[in-house]
Amino acid sequence: MPVTIRDVARASGVHISTVSRTFSAPHLVNPETRVRVLACAEDLGYRPNRAARALITGRTHNIGLIIADIANPFFPPLIKAAEGQARHRDYHVFVADTNEDPTTEEELVHALAKQVDGVLLCSPRMSNSLIEQLSREVPLVVVNRQLTGLPCVLMDVGQGARAAVEHLLGLGHREIALLGGPRGSWTNREIRRAAGAAARAGGAELTVLGPNPPTETGGLALAEQVQRSGVTAVLAYNDLMAIGLIEGLDALGIRVPEQVSVVGVDDIALSRLTRPKLTTVATPTAAAGRTAVDMLLQQDAEPPRAARGIGAGTAAGARRTTAQVMLQTELVIRDSTGPGPHAGRDRPSAAPAGPGPHRLAGPGDPVVATGDGVAS
């Protein structure tokens, strides 16, 4: 017969309610008693019934994690870190993939709302107004999107784009292309804004090609456009596009970095395996996953039991946070960037563009934590 809560109570010498609190609200149990109960439960092989706990506490101890594209190597480190952090807090994570489709995003939030205590939205493609509306149905933390009044975990891709363009300017490049990412992407807008400002400050011309699918195929398809544009350096929305571009340029007989320098964003594992190894902006994806889980659980107060029927986001008195955390990025210089046509010449004076490629802070260090931010 399966071990029951009564068996654990009898073995540990406490009331059944104490065993229940040990698993549902451990902070309410005397530490010595809690250790004894957990030890007895472990010896007996007892595992609490999560469905029963949800009925009693009004909490499922589940988190939804909705991502834009599970095939993109950017996301697995984030997923793994979020799952590990959630498990440490006795939560389980349900992962769902939207395939870059905002309609699917909305449907998944609705589907998960009554099955989880909150949702992490990673690189969402929905409109700000729709995300804000959904946040009234279920607690949300948004990763890689800045919205006023909602908790967000951001990676400072703007600083990374500035550092990348500064690096290319320092190598003597004055004609630079930016391979844009998907429409509706906050990251894409931040990269374009920062790269454009850095290029203007350095007296360079920035040619924007996009929006584009953020895939290797998307980069490959742009090789001929890059060739026709006459640029000598390229900053891509992400590493997958940069790797695809290098492949396409090679097919056209264009050498990287001898003829065209290429920089990516993300620092996925593949960027260290390509030939040439890819210069890229490292983004703190694992740190973002852990931070997002902590932020979500921080605002997940004990909701009234009846509130579970209409979603935890509507629970009266539930604590909600609007904190926004910005995590550092870092330029990693490898082999795909080299001297340009203006190498060795004096650079036009440029306004300071923030920390350069040899920054002291590492990726994942928080640099900003504010109550509110500017909507994307």
Identify the pLDDT of residue 351: 38
Phi, psi of 327 (to 5 degrees): -105, 145
Instruction: State pLDDT tens for residues 167-178.
Output: 999 999 999 999
CA separation for the pair 192, 219 (Å, rounded): 16
Burial of 85 (0-12, 13-18, 19+ CB in 10 A): buried
Range list of H helices, 171-210: 186-201
Identify the pLDDT of residue 52: 54
Which residues are paired to 177 by β-bridges?
A: 207, 234
Nearest CA-CA partner of 137 in 153, 157, 158, 121 = 121
Ranking 10-14, 119-123, 254-258 by mean pLDDT, the lowest is: 10-14
The strand pair at 205-209 and 175-179 is best described as parallel
Instruction: State pLDDT tens for residues 308-358.
Output: 333 444 433 345 567 899 999 999 999 999 999 988 766 554 434 343 443
- Which domains are seen in the chain, by residue range? 5-48 (1.10.260), 157-285+327-370 (3.40.50.2300)
Sign of CA dihedral 307, 310, 312, 317: negative
CA separation for the pair 186, 188 (Å, rounded): 5
Number of H helices and number of E strands within the chain? 13, 13
Q: Is the pLDDT of residue 113 over 80?
A: yes
